[in-house]
Structure 1
């Protein structure tokens, strides 16, 4: 160890202050205390490893008043420290301390950003649980208790007069050993995936050498990547009146991916988080010596992101899920009535095929979440992310693959996006309660459908009323833990109305399957105008609930929550109905393009995998981001491109072989309908998508 460098008095005082902050020389753990003393002596001597340890620790960041609350330090540099000293081997340990301010202090800070008491009631959910996170690099021998005790005393001294608390857990500390830990079970799962992929590769090689078209080998036809790729890109024979559904489904899937990326950018650390919620500042005073384009920053109009109408594409974009519900209900209804018109329904096949078709690919992704996910990243946020995302799948995987988690365990959810599949599966299982009366007793069926739909709207209104929900989805990074999300947003009894509309549309399409209803040009123009107006109103209608000047109105909010999803769905209904009956024009042409059919066949894999990518990227961040529409859209388009590739691989490896196996089993049992179908039903009979 080198001798301490010679410092003048001012330099010595500064060095003592630095060491007083970053060296844990009063630790109760003997080895920690000795290694911290070694770090202090090495830093005085400007030894490289000690300089790296000091350099890896946070210093007070700029932009705290603008929402820059997370200081990452230098994560990798800290973990790469491994120095042999007379105190033994000193390795770096990265810990992230959390400083919790009280509500009074938060309000005081927000007052500097023009956030009034009135606006506080609107945005409090985003900032009430905010913490100032500060990272330090210390010797690995130092335990959490010693680190917390040292920095708690330090921060309490520095923040005297302010009511703050300091927290630190084992999950907030990271060492190099944590980086590569893998269990025997995980090795077995990894090997299982590898063996399966190798088997598919061998079968595919055999298929190229001996084309399946010649030898008609079932195993090769089912598992060959060549055959499954051909199925994905295959063109349907003829055309279908329902081809527009492929375009609607793909666009909705991309919309979901983009929306979730916006949430990740907003709710993981960014250096301008208050830009999302700060209020408008307007000044008309120009500098006297300048032209109209020369304004000071305070004289320039600024608004929070949530106050721009364009933000409703995200805050109101949850409506795209209702598009899925309507499409699913439509296809279920069409499929049922098509089969019922040819004979009795095999109810065992009706339920078992659907469950296996959806749940087996879901179970594969849940397995990855529960076991292998933690191996593919690291960082100051990583363990916190795993606690929120991986642990629920380790404990409640069964609730996800049995499709009961929205009632059994709504928080924390295993695979957040799987709530939709849970609702959709429950609707599917209960759909005969609507379909059978429509089939056997049409008049009773109409009344039954209308009654159930009316009850669903009434339940929506009642729950929104008694809980005093605001009309918009809460803007908070703790959205998934809110009562609104757990007991309203993901609840089947509040989301069923679009599915019921889809069941009704499917029945109407079945009844008019032999003829195309002529829609006059005037009616088509009126229909499309109402369609766009209704969908736009449903989308941007939530904007008013984020405006500070808008007073909360219980009836207004409850009515909006009760009917906005149905009004959006009615707009989508018109799109499908007009396209089927020849009034879609260029919209039908675009939505029916073959590329949408291709992407639609891999869209289930894209839906299952996209949040795995987004959580992994966000949790493995080593520095904060910057929130802007451009950055979020740029990242979202990257997600879509990656998901196209990942969804394709997932489909040819897992989903398509499963589908072919199920179809083969049905044929062996004589349950597969191989009769020719009319164009309207071909979208059902030939579809390889992820809706029934």
Structure 2
């Protein structure tokens, strides 16, 4: 009796499921090429379009192969809508084969809809539908055809937002003014590289520089880094010396040199490279998740414990800020202790300080800007091409913002403006770091003569940054345990007054390493305690918010202090590894095999988001997310980013560094 009583319930459930399936398909029926072909005659399309659509309808009715392919190349709802599939694109590649070889030439277009289906999902979705239709139909004809077939249902609100066609778009990148400038610059640089390589090949090899401890005077054979940034006395530069700065073999040797170098510390190399890999991992996930046919998979993996490694990848940028502050402070104090900068500037007092300050800025600007502006131009042309030619819409408005606001990037002030107007969104780090560099230069010049005053200002800046961040987080109800890390990008994430802490910690660490000359007497127990505290702090920052519930005050405190706490943990890593207490970690971070990757990390940072976008937007269909897919794509992004970064570094970064050293004054 029990089994027979359950039978009607099972039948009812099966009937409901059977009824729901066609209803779902009907609610999500946004475009049907066969329906468009049959309705074309009754719509207000052009005569050529109406005739072509009639031929398409006849081809479908008579089972013509070209018409079947045209129908098959168009996108439509199939499955996965409730799993986050918003790209019903069909196949633009298949449609392009019909561009010339069909009875009716075809063209591929993409329609973007705003879809609200409350009986299926509470969210308003943006859906992209691919359309392979006769080429005789222009964009306005396509809008009419799509609009005519978009029947309004009682429980559905669908709106056509835009129609665009990569094939009908007349954009040609070689006619773009920016591309022409880039081509001329590349031709000039290539000519200089060829000439420099020939001149360098004819010169005798330079004598090997003797090895010296990196914390004492690792600058043998080249001027200290801080001296590279003060005004040089006038002297003639030989043409051959200028050309050799562009020598490929010389710059490649410098990149692959297995010595630490006089402008860094050994563990910095490994830390910089590993942090860059972490940045690429975070950016890969952000872009890949956007262009997937199962975007709700992200919500599943985000609930996993180890995904906190990706969601907290913002700490990798704090590591970069820390490294920048540390090296600037360490090298500046080391140089001022060994060299009288008044003799270099041939001035005293405020005039000498002013010359030092503007020399520092000039070096920084020259050092960073050449590869930066080159990549910015490449990004502008690439994103403009994607906007016109890809079946996907670009993730940001670089094709509009870069031509209009590139000067903000050039001046490194783009984080002082709204994020919606930013060109190269990831360049926010360069702007903040340069602004910190200016502030750090002023602080260190004061510290050389009035250390207590500089220390008071240092503490005031740190405290004010904490308070400002806490205030903004509290007023905006920011909850770091629940919100997306980029949720308040324009208010907290990219603003210099909220990200200053790690840079200041780096400056303090650099001063500490200088004062103790990279020597620290510490027993095994003390070292073990230091590493234990460091691991506890950094692991709690990475994974401590998993399933945590924070109130408003705790959230504000965490937002305020977490970045500085991460920098303090990183400070212990560098201090321990630089003073002989690093153990396995020290050997890993100081491995000579990581030095080349570290030296091209700046260029890798510049180019890697473009590599990620290209690998996604060049295809004609969305990705299907899976753990192995994401990891394989990520590894490909790392390898390709560093290969291209090496080419950019040899062409634009290393020659500028060599030129700056060529014109810098030498130690008397």
TM-score of the alignment, normalized to the shorter chain, above 0.5 = yes
- Answer yes or no: is 1:195 the counterpart of 2:187: yes
Take 1:156 and 1:570, find their aligned partners in 2: how far apart are those partners?
A: 60
Contact persistence 2:87–2:622 (CA under 8 A): yes
- Answer yes or no: is 1:109 the counterpart of 2:118: no
Say which of 198, 213, 235 aligns to 1:206: 198
Q: How does 1:18-417 map to 2 (within 5 A)?
A: 19-22=34-37, 24-25=40-41, 26-83=43-100, 90-102=104-116, 104=118, 108-109=120-121, 130-157=125-152, 159-169=153-163, 172-175=164-167, 178=170, 180=172, 182-183=174-175, 185-186=177-178, 188-189=180-181, 191-196=183-188, 198-200=190-192, 202-203=194-195, 206-207=198-199, 210-211=202-203, 213=205, 217-236=240-259, 242-268=265-291, 270-277=292-299, 304-341=300-337, 342-344=339-341, 346-372=356-382, 374-375=384-385, 380-382=390-392, 384-385=393-394, 388-417=397-426
Any idea what SS the aligned residue of 1:134 has? strand
**1:564-601: CA deviation from partner (whole Å, max 9, x where unpaired):** 11111111000011112221112111111112221111
**1:284-329: CA deviation from partner (whole Å, max 9, x where unpaired):** xxxxxxxxxxxxxxxxxxxx21111111111111101000001101
Pairwise CA distance, 1:20: 1.9
Q: How does 1:548-563 map to 2 (within 5 A)?
A: 550=549, 553-563=551-561
Contact persistence 1:66–1:272 (CA under 8 A): yes
Take 1:499 and 1:387, find their aligned partners in 2: how far apart are those partners?
A: 28
Contact persistence 1:501–1:569 (CA under 8 A): yes
Take 1:583 and 1:198, find their aligned partners in 2: how far apart are those partners?
A: 46
Counterpart of 2:584?
Answer: 586
Q: 1:168 to 1:177 in 2, by over 3 A?
A: closer
Q: 1:582 to 1:71 in 2, by over 3 A?
A: same
Pairwise CA distance, 1:64: 1.3
* Matched length: 590
Take 2:259 and 2:165, find their aligned partners in 1: how far apart are those partners?
A: 55
Counterpart of 1:538?
Answer: 541
Contact persistence 2:196–2:248 (CA under 8 A): yes
Any idea what SS the aligned residue of 2:132 has? strand
Q: Over aligned residue pairs, what C-alpha RMSD do you find? A: 2.8
- Answer yes or no: is 1:486 the counterpart of 2:486: no
Pairwise CA distance, 1:65: 1.6
Counterpart of 1:687?
Answer: none
Q: Which ranges in structure 2 are unaligned for 5 or more consecutive residues?
A: 1-31, 207-237, 342-352
**1:50-106: CA deviation from partner (whole Å, max 9, x where unpaired):** 333212111322121222221111112223423599xxx95422222223233845x
Counterpart of 2:462?
Answer: 453
Counterpart of 2:525?
Answer: 522
- Answer yes or no: is 1:623 the counterpart of 2:621: yes
Contact persistence 1:379–1:620 (CA under 8 A): no
Pairwise CA distance, 1:239: 9.2
Contact persistence 1:531–1:574 (CA under 8 A): yes
Take 1:58 and 1:354, find their aligned partners in 2: how far apart are those partners?
A: 51
Take 1:138 and 1:632, find their aligned partners in 2: how far apart are those partners?
A: 34
Any idea what SS the aligned residue of 2:150 has? helix
Deviates more, 1:75-84 or 1:391-400: 75-84
Q: Which ranges in structure 1 are unaligned for 5 or more consecutive residues?
A: 1-16, 111-127, 278-303, 676-692
Contact persistence 2:258–2:593 (CA under 8 A): no
Take 1:417 and 1:427, find their aligned partners in 2: how far apart are those partners?
A: 17
Take 2:411 and 2:465, find their aligned partners in 1: how far apart are those partners?
A: 24
Any idea what SS the aligned residue of 2:521 has? coil
Deviates more, 1:327-336 or 1:370-379: 370-379
Take 1:366 and 1:647, find their aligned partners in 2: how far apart are those partners?
A: 14
**1:463-505: CA deviation from partner (whole Å, max 9, x where unpaired):** 00011112158449xx5xx5x1112100000000101111111
Contact persistence 2:263–2:331 (CA under 8 A): no
Pairwise CA distance, 1:201: 5.4
Contact persistence 1:148–1:167 (CA under 8 A): no
Take 2:67 and 2:260, find their aligned partners in 1: how far apart are those partners?
A: 70
Pairwise CA distance, 1:526: 0.8
Pairwise CA distance, 1:621: 2.7
**1:512-556: CA deviation from partner (whole Å, max 9, x where unpaired):** 12x6120111111111011111011111234336xxxx4x62112
Contact persistence 1:374–1:386 (CA under 8 A): no
**1:405-457: CA deviation from partner (whole Å, max 9, x where unpaired):** 11124224211211000000001011134323432222333222222111111
TM-score (norm 2): 0.82
- Answer yes or no: is 1:430 the counterpart of 2:430: no
Take 1:51 and 1:197, find their aligned partners in 2: how far apart are those partners?
A: 51
Contact persistence 1:75–1:380 (CA under 8 A): no
Q: 1:503 to 1:464 in 2, by over 3 A?
A: same
